[in-house]
Amino acid sequence: MSLFQVEFPSGLIYVPNWLSEEEHAAALEEIDNHQFESTLARRVQHYGSRYDYFASELKDAGSAPPIPPVLSEIGSRLFSEGYFDKMPSQVIINEYLTDQGIASHIDKNTFGPAVATISLLESWTMQFSDPNGIKIEVPLEARSLAVMTHESRYVWSHGIAKRKADVVGGLRIPRVRRLSMTYRTTDNPKL
pLDDT tens digit sequence for 64-103: 899 999 999 999 999 999 999 999 999 999 999 999 999 9
Q: Tell me how far the alpha carbon of residue 187 is from its chain's centroid.
A: 19
Residue 103 backbone phi and psi in degrees, to 5: -60, 150
CA neighbor of 147 nearest in space, from 98, 96, 74: 74
Q: Domain 12-186 classified CATH 2.60.120.590?
A: yes
pLDDT in tens, 38-61: 888 899 999 998 887 766 677 777
Amino acid at position 148, single letter: M
Residue 163 pLDDT exceeds 80: yes
Global pTM?
0.91
Q: How confident is the model at residue 190 (pLDDT cuts 50, 70, 90)?
A: very low
pLDDT on residue 189: 47
d(CA 16, CA 58): 30
Q: Where are the domains of the chain?
A: 12-186
Decide if 119 contacts 96 (C-beta within 8 A): no
Higher local confidence (pLDDT), 2 or 8: 8
Pick from 46-50, 137-141, 143-147, 169-173: least confident: 169-173
